Structure 1
Amino acid sequence: MGSHRRVAPSGLDRGATAAVGLLSVAAVLGAVPASVAAPHDDTRTEVDRLHTEAERATEAYNKADERTEQLRRQIDDAQDEIARKQERVNTMRDALGSLAGAQYRSGGVDPSLALLLSAEPDDYLDKASVLDRVTTRQAGELRELRQLLRELAQDRAEAAHKLAELEKGRKAVAAHKKTVQRKLAEARRLLAGLPAGERDAYGRASRSGRTDLTGPGGVPASGRAAAALAAARSALGKPYIWGANGPSGFDCSGLIQWSYAQAGVGLPRTSQEQRYAGRRIPLSEARPGDLVAYRDDASHIGMYAGNGQVIHAPRPGAPVRYDPVGMMPVSSVTRI
Structure 2
Amino acid sequence: MTQPVERPAEPRPGRDVAKPAAGEKTVLLRPGDTLSALALEHGTSVEVLQELNGLGSSTLVYAGETLRMSTAEAPAGRDPMGEGSHQPEPAPKQTDAGSEEPPVKGGASAVAFARAQLGKPYTWGGTGPIGFDCSGLVMRAWQEAGVQLPRTTWDQVRAGEATTRARLVPGDLVITRSGGHVQLYIGDGKVIHAPRPGRTITAAPLAVASDVVGYRHITR
- TM-score class, shorter-chain normalisation, is 0.5 to 0.7
Structure 1 residues 320 and 311 mapped into 2: Cα distance closer, same or farther (>3 Å)? Answer: same
- Once the two structures are superposed, residues 84-112 of structure 1 have per-residue CA deviations (whole angstroms, 9 ceiling, x without a partner) of xxxxxxxxxxxxxxxxxxxxxxxxxxxxx
> Normalized against structure 2, the TM-score is what?
0.57
CA distance in 1, matches of 2:201, 2:138: 11
| Counterpart in the other structure of 1:5 | none
Structure 1 residues 24-63: aligned runs within 5 Å: none
Q: Paired residue for 2:157, among 259, 275, 278?
A: 275
Query: How many pairs align?
Result: 143
Q: 1:301 aligns with which of 177, 182, 187?
A: 182
Aligned CA distance change for structure 1 residues 195 and 310 (closer, same or farther; 3 Å)? same
Identify the structure with the greater strand proportion. Answer: 2
Map of 1:266 onto structure 2: 148
Question: In the TM superposition, what whole-angstrom CA distance separates every residue of 1:185-237 from its partner, at most 9, and x where no partner exists?
Answer: xxxxxxxxx89653597347734443533324735532211100110111111
2:149/2:156 contact within 8 Å kept: yes
The answer to whether structure 1 residue 227 and structure 2 residue 109 are counterparts is yes
Q: List aligned pairs for 1:16-165, cutoff 5 A.
A: none
Any stretches of 5+ residues in structure 1 without a counterpart? 1-193
How far off its partner does 1:295 sit?
3.0
Q: Quick one: distance in 2 between partners of 1:308 and 1:201?
A: 27
Task: Identify the match of residue 92 of structure 2 among 190, 215, 228.
Answer: 215
Q: Which residue of 1 aligns with 2:81?
A: 206
Paired residues of 2:111 and 2:186 also in contact (CA < 8 A): yes
- Greater RCO (CA < 8 Å, at least 6 residues apart): 1
Q: Using the alignment, how far apart are the partners of 1:218 and 1:236 within structure 2?
A: 23
Query: Hey, what's the Cα distance between the residues in 2 that align with 1:255 and 1:207?
Result: 22
Q: Which aligned pairs between 1:160-179 and structure 2 lie closer than 5 A?
A: none
Q: CA deviation at 1:287?
A: 1.1
**Counterpart of 1:254 in 2: which secondary structure?**
helix
Q: Which ranges of structure 2 fall in alignment gaps of 5 or more residues?
A: 1-50, 62-79, 94-98
Q: Sequence identity, in percent?
A: 39
Map Cα deviations across residues 30-65 of structure 1 (whole Å, 9 max, x no partner): xxxxxxxxxxxxxxxxxxxxxxxxxxxxxxxxxxxx
Cα RMSD of the aligned pairs, angstroms, is 2.7
Alignment partners' CA distance in 2, 1:211 and 1:226: 28
CA distance in 2, matches of 1:198, 1:220: 43
Residue 333 (structure 1) aligned with residue 215 (structure 2): yes
1:284 corresponds to 2:160: no
Q: What letter is aligned with 1:229?
A: V
Higher helix share: 1
Q: Is the 8 A contact 1:218 1:288 kept in 2?
A: no
